[in-house]
């Protein structure tokens, strides 16, 4: 399961049809996360 790199909480992304390059917001800390892989889903903090 993907984890938020900011707050380390589990991201429940199962069943979401995410595309690489898409951005989502962490439900816990609201940080913006960029999808870097979708099988399995991995996210990273966008470069600042
Ligand atoms: Zn977070």
**Every domain of the chain and the residues it spans:** 1-48
Q: Please give the distance, rounded to the nearest whole angstrom, from the Cα atom of residue 36 to the centre of ligand 1.
A: 16
pLDDT of residue 20: 96
Backbone angles phi, psi at 31, to 5 degrees: -70, 150
* CATH code, residues 1-48: 2.20.28.160
d(CA 27, CA 36): 18
**What is the whole-number distance in angstroms between the Cα of residue 3 and the centre of ligand 1?**
8
User: How far, in Å, from the CA of 10 to the mean position of ligand 1?
Assistant: 8
What are the pLDDT digits (tens) for 1-48? 899 999 999 998 877 889 999 999 999 999 999 999 988 899 999 876
Q: Is the pTM of this model over 0.75?
A: yes
Give me the pLDDT at residue 48, please: 66
């Amino acid at each position: 399961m993907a984890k938020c790199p900011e707050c380390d909480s589990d991201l429940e992304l199962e069943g979401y049809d995410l595309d690489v390059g898409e951005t989502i917001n962490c439900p816990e800390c609201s940080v913006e996360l960029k999808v870097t892989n979708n099988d399995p889903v991995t996210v990273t903090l966008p470069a600042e």
